[in-house]
Structure 1
Amino acid sequence: MDIRTIKTFQTIIRLGSFHRAAEELQYGQSTVTMHIQKLEGDLGVKLLERGKKLKLTEAGRLFHQNADLLLKDYDYLHASMNELIQGEAGNVRLGVMEPTASYRLPQILGPFMQEHPKVKVSIQIGNTFILSQMLSEGVIDLAICSTPETGLEHTFEPLFNERLALLTPDTHRLAAKDLVYLRDLQHENILITTSVCPYRQKLEKALLEKGGSPYTGMEIGNMAALKYYVQAGFGIAVVPVITAVPTPPGTVLQNIHDLDSGLVTGMLRKQNGSTFSSAAEKLIGILRKGLQTI
């Protein structure tokens, strides 16, 4: 039993004759007859009583009543598969690191979702270490994060540098300096994120290498909250520029002269050449273009 024979049967019943059904379906009448014979053979029961006027058997009436639902389900499935193939539907599981998740992704993702309303996108937010693990375990399809520690399992495509700067209260001694160096942060109370945060790791390495250590630190688990703690006078912080613009009242944002361009951020994918859905490929193109133009 296949869809063509079911469609032929339903067309015969709707039009009342083999001849009319053959004309509408653009089949030869022998083909229509063969379809009905095959359908009855597959089902093992007679569906039509042939004569001057076609009559449905009891089995034919039952089949006719339920065949339309089957055809509608088939048409829906066929349309859904076409949408998936063309990238108009599907599921994409995306992992994103802050601040990209909050400050960049919404304006990039919004137009894509409006253009492709049947594509479902789920977003997991985490640091590079967690996102790498999720990618390895198949929890997400791709990640936007900083450079991973190893490239053995994944491929990494750099897209942009997340610029960093020093945020201080406007009454702080460093706020009046024309040029700030990492050594100027020595003995300061620096507000820092968690130990697995790549921004903290980059800062601590730079401070050790360029004379900004020792220092004291207060750990704040949420990067977006750092600027508010600076504003409240708890200390100073090295933050992604995008999170501190516009600068909160009572604070000053300054470049650190000997801190390099920022944290490299890019797209992390599995190295084994796993294929993406058409929807995912479309989204990858949008993300690449949107993040590279920053």
Structure 2
Amino acid sequence: MDLTELIAFQTVMREGTFSKAAEKLNYAQSTITNQIKRLEKELGLTLFYRNWEATLTPAGQRFAEQVDLLIHHWRYVGDIAKQLNEEEIGTLHIGVTETWADRHLPAILYEFRKYKPKITCEITVGNSAFLEECLQEEKITLALCSDSESSHHFVFEPLEQESVSLVIPADHPLANTQTVTIDELLSHLLIIGQSSCKYRFEVEKAFRVYEQEPLFYTINQLSLIPLYAERLNGIGIVPSSLHVDAEYTRLPFPALDHYLQIGILQPRHIKYNSGIQQLFVEEVRKYFKAHH
């Protein structure tokens, strides 16, 4: 049994047919078939019924329950071997929200590089819902974002509370006010992040008790919201961790029920973090401990 056979089994199971698995892995279908045959011979089990769709046998179903753990353990052992036998190399695949990518991550990576200067880092920036999808698809192995509603699939370690701010341009009629009410916001154009943003969900709840609906312009790049608010004579609504130039008035968003929790989100099924990833997690914890 080797890692390629385990990945072939996992891919056939997920894709549903040998041909789709071969296309996914960029192999000939015969290669996938031979890998599954070798795996079945080594296990002494028949894992799939041989029909048009790759249907799991009862033994295959039981093996499927363990294959993710086996793959991650295999990679973990390989990572340890790499650390012991050669100069440490590898890639850290992480996701981060736009606000943290700007405000926190550069300082964390600066410290991380002191210990792992030869590690490649691939950074995916997006909102929390998008990063959760990336974790599920195994495009990243860790995300710095808000909590997931799927506690069955993820574990979450909170590190910081996130509030929501209004960003008001200098020439806007409300620029010199100390507070703004929901009633006042309803008469202005509001520039906000896309509907999948967790903070937008909290903002929308605040408007539900009003018969009049707010007028939202939606943009998926949060750093552009202040500019669009200025050019359109509107009011921006952003996470409070977003950097905003001093020329704008910044006020707390009224009537929020609670703060969002932002922290480290990881897949629950990964029992073994690589040494590289574990060190990065420790640097994240150290950073927030020092700054709070």
Q: TM-score, normalised by structure 2?
A: 0.65
CA distance in 2, matches of 1:212, 1:154: 37
Shift of 1:227: 0.9
Counterpart CA distance in 2 for 1:187 and 1:288 is 42
What is the alpha-carbon distance in structure 1 between the residues aligned to residue 195 and residue 216 of structure 2? 11
Structure 1 position 162 matched with structure 2 position 162: yes
Q: Distance in 2 between matches of 1:254 and 1:277?
A: 42
Deviation at 1:138, TM superposition (A): 1.9
Q: 1:81 aligns with which of 42, 62, 83?
A: 83
Matches within 5 A, 1:235-254: 235-247=234-246, 249=247, 251-254=248-251
Gaps of 5+ in 1: 1-77
After TM superposition, the structure 1 = structure 2 runs for residues 117-128 of structure 1, keeping only pairs within 5 Å, are 117-128=117-128
Paired residues of 2:111 and 2:283 also in contact (CA < 8 A): no
Which residue in 2 is equivalent to 1:285?
A: 282
- What corresponds to 2:41 in structure 1? none
Unaligned runs of 5+ in 2: 1-79
Given that 1:90 and 1:277 are in contact with CA atoms closer than 8 Å, whether structure 2 keeps it comes out as: no
**Higher alpha-carbon Rg:** 1
Q: Percent identity of the aligned residues?
A: 29
- Opposite residue 82 of structure 1, the aligned amino acid is L
Query: Residues of 2 paired with 1:286 and 1:185: CA distance?
Result: 40
8 Å contact kept, 1:165–1:254: yes
Q: Is the 8 A contact 2:169 2:233 kept in 1?
A: no
Q: Deviations over 1:153-206 (max 9, x none)?
A: 111111101232111122333223222233331232101221212222221122
Q: Report the counterpart of residue 25 of structure 2 in structure 1.
A: none
Using the TM superposition, give the Cα deviation of residue 216 of structure 1 relative to its aligned residue in structure 2, in angstroms: 0.8
Alignment partners' CA distance in 2, 1:195 and 1:83: 48
1:14 aligned partner: none
Q: Flag the 1:189–1:110 CA change in 2: closer, same or farther, 3 A.
A: same
Structure 1 pair 291–83 and aligned structure 2 pair: CA distance change class (3 A): farther
- Residues 163 and 282 of structure 1: CA distance in aligned 2, closer, same or farther (over 3 Å): same
- How many Å separate the matches in 2 of 1:281 and 1:105? 16
Q: Deviation string for 1:7-51 (max 9, x for gaps)?
A: xxxxxxxxxxxxxxxxxxxxxxxxxxxxxxxxxxxxxxxxxxxxx
CA distance in 2, matches of 1:79, 1:131: 30
What is the aligned-residue RMSD (CA, Å)?
2.7
2:266 is the alignment partner of 1:269: yes
The equivalent of 1:184 in structure 2 is: 184
Find the counterpart in structure 1 of residue 134 from structure 2. 134
TM-score, structure 1 length as denominator?
0.64
Change (3 A) 1:240 1:130: closer
SS at match of 1:288: helix
8 Å contact from structure 1 (residues 186, 212) kept in 2 = no
Report the count of equivalent residues.
213
Q: Distance in 1 between matches of 2:287 and 2:257?
A: 23
Measured after TM superposition, the shift of residue 223 of structure 1 is 0.5
SS of aligned partner of 2:245 = coil
245 and 193 in structure 1: CA distance in 2 versus 1, 3 angstrom threshold: closer
